[in-house]
Chain A
Amino acid sequence: MTDKQSNLPDDYNAPEASKKAAGKRKFSSIWIVPIIALLIGLFLVFRLVTEAGPTITISFKEGTGLEVGKTKVKYRNIEVGEVSSIDLKKDLSGVIVSVEMEPAAKSYLREKTRFWVVKPSVSGGNVTGLSTLLSGSYIGIEPAIEGQPKKNFTGLERQPIIKSADDGGRYKLRADSLGSLDFGSPVYYKGIQVGQIVDYVLKDGDIIFDVFIEKPYDGKVNAGTRFWNVSGFDVTLSADGLKINTESLVSIISGGLSFDTPRSFDVDNQIAVNADTEFRLYATKDASRQRQFKETRKLLLYFDDPVRGLVPGATVELRGFKIGEVTDIRLELNRETGEFRIPVLIEVEPERAFVTQGKDFDFEAAVQKLVDKGLRARLKTGNLLTGRLFVDFEFYPDAPAATADFSEKYPVLPTMRGTLGVITEDARILVDELRQVGQKINSLLDSEEFRISMANLSETLQNVKQISAQLDQDAAPKITAILTDAEATLADAQELFASNSTTRTEINRILVELAEAAQSIRLLADYLEQNPEALIKGKD
């Protein structure tokens, strides 16, 4: 190295001079080395600055599995960032994870971007994050293009099921309870798994499910589509026997949904739905098959019959069609009269009955018209074994006139005694009448007339007996004589027709000759018929 310097033009004429020159006067070409070093350093810094993506913070509740410099942020299994620091929140309520993202990440770090820690988890029918068992946890990201840019995020506590809108459709389902459904529970269409439950929230006392259905099956969802729960199995014991319905083994354990569009009168089937459409989640397939009605009307019925066996939820039928159900039953005491009456609140779906109703549909007028025609509510026994009652609307044109009362909070419809009540009543009347008859018979038996007539009757009978005795004494010998004569006559007659009597032989001969004569006459007649001229000409 040192030798190189000798080729340079130098002014090292004297040792004294050379020392000073080495320190100050001349710049050696060796300075290229630090300049190159500097350039490389600057290049590194430049690259660091330009290639450094945005640094973001994500807050999590727990820092489980997160390590500085090791934990990556991955999207579709590609690294897009790395954890650069993990700190506790100031109020110790969680951890704040700083992440250095890739430069390109800037475009998708928006308000709606979501982060979560991917850990191995086994839930329901799903095993997820298995690869993290070996490689350690990583932070998952769901990029979002829309929204305002953002730097500080709140991490999700569990992994959402990411499905982009291109892959299918999202739908909302409303259900009474969560049941055995969970995140990731499968959604079936005719037994094929076509989607998953992506999310659920509690809203207004109902569970709102967010359901994702993959292409092309999302096209099967329309306004007429029904969703029902296929968790576990559905055992129905009916007149047809035992019926067990289940969708799949997984759904028995982890729950699931199924959907289909029933063929019905409704024209909903052609109506497309958007993401905001809320479907009902039915408990069973059969429940889902019942028509869906948006409008319900509450009506009040006052029954005089005992309502044992009538429970909220009991059906309300009109000519055998379910039109609603009982929602509440109470017992009311009228303090003034001291009488009980039982108001039964029912909820009917008028759309079931009034199919072609318009917007200016007058429910009250329609009901009044029906009541005028004899519409009455009765309690009927639905099941003889359980004694369950249901409310039955039927037309009784002969029923006493009544009106629907719309003045109260709920319209009050007239009722009639139910079948059971009527039978009881009829039976009571019958028994009363029978008793009266019995009493009358008793009084009759006890009466004087009856005794006299009985005495008369026995006298009459006595007389009859006497008459018959006289007949025995007087008429019998004569009758015997007559019979003897008759017997003799018959014996004569018998003798006359006996097989060996002459009379009979004679008669037989006469009969034979008569037959022969008849034969001849027939022959003659035949001949004459064929040859009528024989009468004149004579036989040839």
Chain B
Amino acid sequence: MALTAKEAGLVGCTVCGLLAPVAKSEGEQHCERCGEKLHTRHPDSIQRTWALLIAAIIFYIPANLMPITLTTALGNTQGDTIMEGVIYFMYHGEWPIGLVIFIASIFVPICKIAAMIYLLISVQRQSDQQRLNRAKIYRIVELVGRWSMIDIFVVTIMVALVQLGFLASVQAGSGAIFFCAVVIITMFAAESFDPRLIWDKQSNDD
């Protein structure tokens, strides 16, 4: 396979794409064209990603156990977790909506976290298996990340719209905050992961 820039003693600017020879120590070299700091690889990429991922996993627990919405209908307040909402819709025959919520709020975050763990472990083990697929996975993870916010989006709209006083009102539950945190932190985790690490060992193995 092709030579990586790093192996060739070069460093690419992530902003303007200018290649420069590695001249200074990591983090001190700047792009000659746009002034962006140059790194051969994101510094502490794996450590940072792990840290953020663990934080996301921790937050994922309350995000699913605590109510994401507090619905007050006729004076009776009821908190619903994400899973209760999914079950509610499924149970009442609205299975497409239930499915959308399930995929966006439960399936995708779990997949994302699992994918990130897989990527991290495979990079740390310097595995040379499935590199192309792993790169695809990373791309999907990065792409899909923000769409997990659809849940929070729905909750915010509901809170804004359904304010009918005693008859019905919706408030965001504490679960929403944690869910939001999970989405944001996984996005940062995906960001901090340097996909170039996937390819690093390839040349050595060749």
Contacts and interface: CB of A to CB of B under 8 A. Distances in A.
Interface stretch (A7-15, A446-454, A480-488, A489-497): A7-15
Residue from B22, B47, B185, B191 with most neighbouring chain A CB atoms (10 Å): B47
Secondary structure call for the A interface = helix
A34 B124 contact: no
A137 to B, nearest CB: 10
29 contacts: A1-B48, A1-B191, A2-B39, A5-B27, A6-B27, A12-B26, A15-B26, A15-B40, A21-B44, A22-B47, A23-B46, A26-B47, A28-B47, A28-B51, A30-B48, A30-B52, A31-B51, A34-B52, A37-B54, A37-B181, A38-B55, A40-B58, A41-B58, A41-B59, A70-B76, A134-B74, A134-B75, A134-B76, A135-B76
A137 B58 CA distance: 37
Contacts of A31: 47, 51
A3 to B, nearest CB: 6
A28 B48 contact: yes
* Contact-residue size bin, chain A (C-beta under 8 Å from the other chain): 20 to 34
Interface string B30-61: 00000001011111111110011011101101
A94 B192 CA distance: 57
B143 to A, nearest CB: 19
Interface string A125-151: 000000100111000000000000000
A36 B40 contact: no
A19 interface: yes
Given A10-B26, A15-B26, A22-B47, A1 B192 contact: yes
A70 B78 contact: yes
Interface in B106-134: 124
Contact of B25 (A5, A13, A40, A44): A13
B41 A2 contact: no
A136 B76 contact: yes
A2 B43 contact: yes
A27 B42 contact: no
A38 B60 CA distance: 11
B83 to A, nearest CB: 12
A245 interface: no
A23 B47 contact: yes
Given A5-B43, A34-B51, A38-B54, 17 more contacts: A1-B188, A1-B192, A2-B43, A6-B43, A13-B25, A13-B26, A15-B6, A15-B26, A18-B40, A27-B47, A30-B48, A37-B58, A37-B185, A38-B58, A44-B62, A131-B75, A134-B76
Contact of A15 (B22, B42, B181, B191): B22
Contact of A2 (B46, B84, B192, B197): B192
Contacts of B206: none
Nearest to A135: B76
Contacts of B181: 37
Given A34-B52, A37-B54, A41-B61, A2 B78 contact: no
